[in-house]
Structure 1
């Protein structure tokens, strides 16, 4: 029988209480980080490397990612659907991801991925009116960007 000859580690009662561990001490690693990240630092970094920070494409990308986060925060889309929608948003400026990336990330081909995206963005009866409009608009924008053609029917995200 194996025995552990070392004594058990000693812990003080203060380290067991998470509120007492760092009471009143701000995080020095990320003093200005908020829920959506350190936006000023990100913009400074983008300006250094020559990315235009106020381009319409970049603004659309940021706005769409915020809309995706909003839909996830109000449980209008599931966490797995959020990953799918965020991936579609990130690749939309390039006309969509290639087959290899889609297969590695989601195990699906392009057509199947677009069907999954469309199914994830179908407005639910429990969604508020503005969330339904947001989902439909975002879905149509994504399908237009990935297909590089305007949708045949503006209500295509409402039905499969």
Structure 2
């Protein structure tokens, strides 16, 4: 039986902006760290690892100003290269976030429009016909029948309010 390795990237969409090949190759090859500087750096790192004591010979281990400047130039060049490599990723992320935001806003607008249309159709198809039937039914009553029903409803409401007041005065834990 042959086992095939399954891809772990199923269903994942990857947005990729190709980088210029020149950014992946070191551009500042003319800036070289001297062997003395490397020796001094290795001595200082081993010295700091082994002990933290300062001695009189530390003056000899310090970097000269020229080699310090070369290191600073190299650090700045690497920082610039890193910025150039990362910038397309940041731009892609920003573009993706803007597109996502506009998509979500459009979806919210469409959802609101759908609810408005649903309410309008419900009002036209359900509420207005029901309201007309109620008005027709109430208008068919005579004045004496309408007064009798109003007093009946009023009495019912007064009775329910009295029951609720009495229930509120009772101790619920008794």
**TM-score under structure 1 length normalisation:** 0.22
* Larger Rg computed on CA atoms: 2
Greater relative contact order (Cα < 8 A, sep 6+): 2
- For normalisation by structure 2, the TM-score amounts to 0.21
